[in-house]
Amino acid sequence: MDLNEIKTPHFSLSEMLRSDIATQRGIANTPSVGVLENICRLMTEVLEPARVKLDAPVIITSGYRSVELNYAVGGVANSQHVKGQAADLVCTKLTDKKRLFDILAAMDIDQILWETNSQGTQWIHVSYVSPDKNRHIVNRNYRAR
């Protein structure tokens, strides 16, 4: 798989792999070929169509996480981030984030969560597996650990 081909008009593989914690702690965040395929599906089937419909910037705050990185950030052991099936998103405007949530919730997704952590920070978690395995879970008030 050509890594340069894993991109859409609004998203890149580097955005899906970027992690300040991985950089700071020297943690490798290199996905396998199977995970790269999942990342590509997430970008092309969910993220890009939603971004086009929203017509406003969408920032990936967390995409793929290696097992070690997922542990370092306190992710759950079975996190879809480790499989390249999930991304956490924010928008520069709250109204855009609310619209993005509604756009994503109407799509063929596995799970979408409006997450809030104990510090009050909020983001949208969205995941995609495949058309025949997506569960269509929508939770507008999810408390992150």
Distance CA 118, CA 142 (A): 11
* pLDDT mean by block of 10 residues, the chain; 145 residues: 78 95 95 95 97 97 97 94 98 94 98 93 96 96 81
Can you give the pLDDT at residue 20? 94
Residue 130: enclosing H or E segment and its boundaries? none
Distance in angstroms between the alpha carbons of the first and the last residue of the chain:
35
Can you give the pLDDT at residue 4? 63
Can you give the pLDDT at residue 144? 80
Can you give the pLDDT at residue 142? 87
Distance CA 141, CA 129 (A): 22
What's the domain range around 130? 3-143
DSSP state of 7: B
Can you give the pLDDT at residue 6? 83
Q: What is the CATH number of the domain that holds 26?
A: 3.30.1380.10
Distance CA 127, CA 109 (A): 6
**Structural domains of the chain, count:** 1
The encoded tokens of residue 131 equal 């058309």
pTM of the model: 0.93
Q: How many residues does the chain have?
A: 145
Can you give the pLDDT at residue 103? 98
Can you give the pLDDT at residue 141? 87
